[in-house]
Structure 1
Amino acid sequence: MTGDADIARTATLFADPARVRVLMALADGRALAASVLANEAGLSAQGTSAHLAKLRDASLVVVERSGWHRFYRLAGPQVGEILETLAQIAPPQPVTSLKSGTRAEALRFARTCYDHLAGRLGVAVTAALVTHGALATTDGVPGTERREQDRLSAPLATHPYVLGPKAGPVFGDLGVDLDAVRRRRRPLLKFCLDWSEQRHHLAGALGAELAATFERRDWLEPRVPGHRAVRLTDTGRTQLQDRLDVRIPR
């Protein structure tokens, strides 16, 4: 027999700033070597190894071996969701320089939430998919705003969305093969309550494929090492405006 979940034991792992930097470096879904993680988190090799050992013991990260090398990644999307959830209720870090202010604004504009798009851009794209009939709501609310039952302190366990009547042509026009995405084992549709915008953004297999497609088509610039922010290219801005009427001020 087992007792209740030991939440406190896991929660303590998120209370160390250095350990959180390790987790945030992995929050975009990449698998990184310990040496790369040490550089991105600003830690010593010894300190990084100690943090990774604790995170592995708690099943928050897993290790993949490739020859003599070992690469670390988050144990799954749920760990990324925990980071996003904590960000929703955590106070912002003080901006002490122009660089840190620019970085914070970049994260709020467009970032990866594990492997899908978040921030103002992710929210705007999701809203446009509803407007164009690629997604439809089932609760009578026509938009992507936060529902009364949505908790800031937890991921959306359920969501009020289904594929809409225009899903095939709209996603196809964006370069996404819906039939191929449906064959994946992970849930097709999941949604997060965006911590910076307080609206829903698309996650799940479809959200991940949409973000990957935007990168393949050079609508988003490749992720910068150590930073989850992504940049909307001029081509991406034009294409999203033409195809989804997504208009975001520069």
Structure 2
Amino acid sequence: MEANIASPAALIGDPSRAAMLQALMDGRAHPAGALAWAAGLTAQAASNHLARLVDGGLLSVERQGRHRYYRLANAEVAHVLEALAVLAAPVRSLQQPRSPEARALREGRCCYGHLAGRLGIAVTDALVARGVLALADDKLYAVPDAGRAWFGDLGLEPTALRAKRGVARQCLDWTERRHHLAGPLGVALLSRMVALGWIDADTGSRAVKLTMLGREELRLRLGVDLETMEGREAA
């Protein structure tokens, strides 16, 4: 029997549920109250929508005391949401971001554990230009010997990572409409950059910021200058 795509499509198609799913694209678990706020719903309405998303296999829920925390059920759900975001009409607020929050998300953000936005694109472009990554079939990146050495210098071992769909994947950025690095290697790289103090992750949102140390390290290691990346659309 063929898969019934109508069921998950109907769940995602509701604007309120879509808003809550997008709020979970940072890969973290969030309480129902936060998701209700993101979707502009009452607590009761949000609870009903979240129950349907859990029953439909799009979300998983973890109970801690009296609270319930929700996250995307798996990476496949995130891939579907990213693909739908690319098919959707461009978001005007991100094309011409007017608020500080919108500008911050476009400059750099966490996309289900990996680096996205202009910062993610700049890093990925530099990795490809330097031969650290190589374009491959099926929307994947290959990691040549030079790449294994580069990542190894950061304390990462690409050959130790495992994934059915590829260790290094191309993810089409929904604000920039270009590919950034995803997959286990992308997740490991962002985590390492945060640990090294190159990137500050805002725990209150998906936005991330490049630190002064990060700017210098990326300039030295990848030959890119991101000194003026933040705030260049502030005017």
TM bracket, shorter-chain basis: 0.7 to 0.9
Secondary structure, counterpart of 1:231 in structure 2: strand
- TM-score between both structures, scaled by the size of structure 1: 0.79
Match of 1:189 in 2: 168
How far apart are residue 183 of structure 1 and its match?
A: 5.6
> Structure 2: how far apart are the matches of 1:237 and 1:125?
11
2:192 corresponds, among 213, 230, 241, to 213
Q: 2:233 matched to 1:235?
A: no
Contact kept? 1:138, 1:161, Cα under 8 Å: yes
Match of 1:147 in 2: none
After superposition, give the CA deviation of every residue in 1:209-245 in whole Å (9 maximum; x if it has no partner).
00111112222212342x3222222221121111111
> Structure 1: how far apart are the matches of 2:122 and 2:92?
27
After superposition, give the CA deviation of every residue in 1:145-170 in whole Å (9 maximum; x if it has no partner).
xxxxxxxxxxxxx1253111212321
2:131 corresponds, among 107, 130, 133, to 133
2:26 corresponds, among 22, 25, 28, to 28
Listed as ranges, the gaps of 5+ residues in structure 1 are 140-157
Of all paired residues, the percent bearing the same amino acid is 46
Match of 2:183 in 1: 204
2:101 corresponds, among 100, 103, 116, to 103
Given residue 92 of structure 1, which amino acid in structure 2 is its aligned partner?
P
Given residue 218 of structure 2, which amino acid in structure 1 is its aligned partner?
L
1:51 corresponds, among 49, 52, 61, to 49
1:174 corresponds, among 154, 163, 169, to 154
> Structure 1: how far apart are the matches of 2:118 and 2:76?
22
Match of 1:153 in 2: none
After superposition, give the CA deviation of every residue in 1:41-71 in whole Å (9 maximum; x if it has no partner).
4432112111101111211101123455432
Q: 2:202 matched to 1:223?
A: yes
After superposition, give the CA deviation of every residue in 1:196-219 in whole Å (9 maximum; x if it has no partner).
333221111111000111112222
Runs of 4+ in 1 over 4 A off after TM superposition: 183-186
> Structure 2: how far apart are the matches of 1:99 and 1:182?
37
Distance 1:134 1:94, change over 3 A: closer
Contact kept? 1:81, 1:113, Cα under 8 Å: no
> Structure 1: how far apart are the matches of 2:18 and 2:61?
18
After superposition, give the CA deviation of every residue in 1:130-187 in whole Å (9 maximum; x if it has no partner).
2222222357xxxxxxxxxxxxxxxxxx1253111212321123342435x4267874
Given residue 47 of structure 1, which amino acid in structure 2 is its aligned partner?
A
Listed as ranges, the gaps of 5+ residues in structure 2 are 230-235
Contact kept? 2:109, 2:206, Cα under 8 Å: yes
**Aligned positions of 1:52-71 closer than 5 A:** 52-71=50-69
Cα RMSD between the aligned structures? 2.6
> Structure 1: how far apart are the matches of 2:200 and 2:38?
19
User: Bigger relative contact order, structure 1 or 2, given CA contacts below 8 A and separation 6+?
Assistant: 1
Given residue 238 of structure 1, which amino acid in structure 2 is its aligned partner?
E
Match of 1:117 in 2: 115
